[in-house]
Structure 1
Amino acid sequence: MHRTLYDVLTATVDSHPDKLALIAGPHRLTYRDLAARVAGLAGRLQADGVRPGDRVVICAGNRVETVTAFWAALAAGGVAVVVGHEQRPERVRHVLADCAATVLLALEPMARSLTGLGLPASVRAVLPVGAEDTLFAGTPAPVDVISEDLAALVYTSGSTGDAKGVMLSHANMLTALDSLNEYLRNGPEDVFLCALPLAFDYGLYQMIMAFSQGATLVLERDMSLPLQVVKDIARYRCTVVPGVPVLFELVEQFSRFGMPDVSSVRCLTNTGAALLPRHIAAIRRLFPGADIYSMYGVTECKRCTYLPPELLDVKPGSVGQAIPNTQILVVDEQDRPCPPYQVGQLVVRGGTVMQGYWGLPDETARKIREHPVRGGRCLYTGDYGYLDEDGHFFFKGRIDEVIKVRGRKLIPRDVEEVLRSAPGVAEASVVCTALDDGDHDIAAFVAADPAAVDASALRAACRSGLETWQRPTRYEVLATLPRNSNGKVDKPELLRRYPVPTAALAPAGAPC
């Protein structure tokens, strides 16, 4: 039985020392090679002052150094904090200060920028990636860490507010790992392809799952070169391919140049944004022999639900049933269980539920509460949706994106579904903003060819599919929608580029 997440790696090193663990650019590491690098860096972290519970911030992108540093932080007894290397230095500095990090490991340009900004007083050492021979300092000293101790802080994307550090214990992450491995049927013969950021928990767990099974991880730098991703799937005979809709869309666009043999793929997974029917159809064309797992989760408890592949056509639009060893419930505003098909807030009960938000006790108390039926702690996800009569969840949107319009709750996803049904629309995103005068700006952004789709066509679709109070007040037709590093539509960026216009402040009742 694993006591800590680090035990997962050491057990695999013992059982598969000469198995190929990692392919990352020019690097080919067996589990024995990886263990040596991890031990050397863990020794260096301890020499630089890392003690059990100290935070180690890792900002190096999808590189072998990030993989090594994650496990080395655990080996040293520390808490791993992986953040996106593409972020602004000011945001990374905020993370350093917020979690009172002891050590920063970063790409040299980021390390220089952060040093120039002035590092928080807690930071005792900066290890620049690019000078690998200076990163290793021998075998680490044993540490006294148990399953209840923190293993990682995963910062939320901040898509609906300020990023928060989600505290995950070793027990949290081991519980999630066991559940994921069970329903995805992962094994040592698998080869995982990961083009997702390791700073995104969906990407991070691909590495953890692969190493827990003695499988091989093929780590791509990012999703920007879909042809390279597909070529590597074929080259390394990958069997597990996690993605988000934008990755599948890119692969489909570039498939016209020819698809190599990808028959090795046994399963494709998706989370972060819903798979639309066109995504499913494209995946089936591109990977005809693969099972498709549509999934849903939040950083605060890793994964909530999954839809077994055989139910993909039976339960269209659903993100599935509770993952193994987890219970889900939908409640109304009075914390009463909702009957089937009634929209309410999703509540999750199980060992994956976070310990809380780092340094934010009030925010934690709003999320971690007593279960309304079973008692004990549970997570109020802040997500709206409903359960059908079989207990399958249908996601509708985030509570903090929902606003009251003329006394009724407007769920942006309801509007987005109607917009996506309009001819020529590839994608839609709706952002609702409450205005000072009590009115609302309901902005609809669609990805489409501006020469083929205009606001009048979108307005017509909304007139036929929505109530008057649900209809957008303005429409923007864009070639593509901006995305954050996790592959989700970046709604704050949309509002930054297309702020509420003066015309949106017209008196209530203006025509939509």
Structure 2
Amino acid sequence: MSAEDVLLDVLTFHIRRGRGERAAVLDQDGTTTYAELARSVEQRVRELRTAGVRAGTPVGVVMTARVRSIVDFAAANAIGAAVLVLQERMVAGERTAALSDFGAARVIGPDGIDGPRSRDRRHDESTFAVTSSGTTGRPKVISRAWAGTLRNSADFARTFGIDVDDIVLTTSPLGHSYAIEAGTFAVFRAGACQMVPEGPLSPARARTLIERHRPTILQTVPIVLDWWGRGGVARATPWRRCVSAGEALPAPAAARWRAEEVPVFDHYGNSELGQLTLDPDGGSLTAGVGRALPDVQLRAGEGSPAPVSARVTGLAPVRFEAGAPVPLADADGWVTTGDLGVIERDGLRLTGRGDMVINIGGNKVSPIEVEEVMRSLPGVEDCAVVGRHGPDGRRQVWAFVEADDVAFDAAALRRRAGEVLTSFKVPAVIRRVDALPRTGSGKLRRGLLIEDES
């Protein structure tokens, strides 16, 4: 690992450029400058080395909404350890399983360093590992080469346009790959400042913080962008731009921000490969997610949907199964993402998950297409579409919608959907829910909607 690939050296690079007193992180405890952050990381490096952490040592780092978690990660990275990022809200069983898969006996977190050093299973190189979102089952540990991960984040920062004067408000927990890679790593490579709020913020609380600190970029997910847009957050400060990722961005959610002249970008990435595309027209009805970032190559269907594959320079991702690393890339470096899509002139258009396509009498139905139509209907705030078995055992299209209880009329929604969709795509069942089930990062947990056969 070369010096330029160490996160600590990214911080000291900015200090040498005279940016030491500029803010690097804004959290609940206040502002931490680049110089203060670098000193804290150097001190933590000494403490971790005393505790026996060495190059290749696998460790879990619990990421909270505090700068000290960033210090822990950067210190372990500076030593050359293999770092598994752990989400703060992971239940004990999931955390134990992830650590076991990764071969890490020790956890670095708010309470110090836990676990005996004797059971660590040494890795060959410095790596960056995360757990998948768990939308379809138990979270899996995904590990990649560190140098390629940091380079991918730098590419995202340049392409999106983060600069040294930006304050980037990140709404997702730092334990999620999107928040730490397109957030923390990208922000530091740009020499900007990351604002990390504590816990989910209501629009009212968000406006208070935003009016005080004046962030310029919002990095978030569709559900928060929509919630804050309806709550007037788009008017709280002169936003330079915002980016949404994690799932398809509904057009109405983006429209509220564009009405305030805030550019909205859609972003496509995953735990296996990091950041893949950016679309400056996010929230369109086309489900387009934009062009590939530098060093990213994409393959998908031409004219009709096909599995999406991606190749990213220098990552070599693996998934740990029963403690053993299983390469995710084929012999030529291509990784299948699990999504379906079409390559078009303006980039990649996603049509759904390969494992979520609904087969209705031999006809293939894309949940994303149906969801876009349902969200455009009066009274529907959000929607999730899945395939479920009907009373006769045949597959049906089911739509779960967030809508007002008093005005909800399933029959009327079906009629309106039938004016836009081919008959086999129209949901056979439309159910109102108070809130769709989601992960901590805001992704839909479609598996719960499929499993709930009540």
Q: TM-score, normalised by structure 2?
A: 0.88
The CA deviation at 1:434 is 6.4
The CA deviation at 1:453 is 1.5
Residue matched to 2:295: 325
Distance 2:255 2:367 in 1: 25
2:100 pairs with 1:97: yes
Paired residue secondary structure (2:299): strand
2:80 pairs with 1:74: no
The CA deviation at 1:71 is 0.4
Distance 2:372 2:202 in 1: 29
Residue matched to 1:129: none
Q: Give 2:252's aligned amino acid.
A: R
Distance 1:18 1:201 in 2: 28
Contact 1:12 1:213 in 2 (8 A): no
The CA deviation at 1:384 is 0.6
Aligned residues: 448
Distance 2:421 2:284 in 1: 26
2:269 pairs with 1:297: yes
Residue matched to 1:461: 416
Contact 1:405 1:469 in 2 (8 A): yes
Q: TM-score, normalised by structure 1?
A: 0.79
Paired residue secondary structure (1:283): helix
Contact 1:300 1:354 in 2 (8 A): no
The CA deviation at 1:123 is 6.3
Distance 1:413 1:228 in 2: 32
> Cα 1:293–1:152, aligned 2, differ >3 Å: closer, same or farther?
same
Distance 1:352 1:391 in 2: 26
2:449 pairs with 1:500: no
2:368 pairs with 1:413: yes
Q: Give 1:269's aligned amino acid.
A: V
Kindly report which structure 2 residues correspond to 1:245-284, keeping only aligned pairs within 5 A, or say none: 245-255=222-232, 259-260=235-236, 262-263=237-238, 265-284=239-258
Residue matched to 1:28: 31
Distance 1:447 1:73 in 2: 43
Query: Any gaps of 5 or more consecutive residues in structure 2?
Result: none
Q: Give 2:453's aligned amino acid.
A: V
Residue matched to 2:185: 208
Distance 2:288 2:60 in 1: 36
Residue matched to 2:335: 379
> Cα 1:82–1:422, aligned 2, differ >3 Å: closer, same or farther?
same
Distance 2:343 2:98 in 1: 37
> Cα 1:361–1:121, aligned 2, differ >3 Å: closer, same or farther?
closer
Distance 1:4 1:316 in 2: 37
Contact 1:307 1:318 in 2 (8 A): yes
Contact 2:253 2:283 in 1 (8 A): no
Q: Give 1:327's aligned amino acid.
A: Q
Distance 1:418 1:103 in 2: 48
The CA deviation at 1:360 is 6.9
The CA deviation at 1:411 is 2.2
2:135 pairs with 1:159: yes
Residue matched to 1:348: 310
Q: Give 2:272's aligned amino acid.
A: E
Paired residue secondary structure (2:288): coil
Larger CA deviation: 149-158 vs 401-410: 401-410
Larger CA deviation: 350-359 vs 201-210: 350-359
> Cα 1:469–1:22, aligned 2, differ >3 Å: closer, same or farther?
same
Q: Give 2:257's aligned amino acid.
A: I
Distance 2:421 2:249 in 1: 22
Residue matched to 2:5: 4
State which of 54, 57, 67 in structure 2 corresponds to 1:54: 57
Distance 2:395 2:381 in 1: 26
Distance 1:437 1:315 in 2: 34
The CA deviation at 1:173 is 1.2
The CA deviation at 1:235 is 2.1
Residue matched to 1:135: none
Larger CA deviation: 91-100 vs 11-20: 11-20
State the identity %: 25
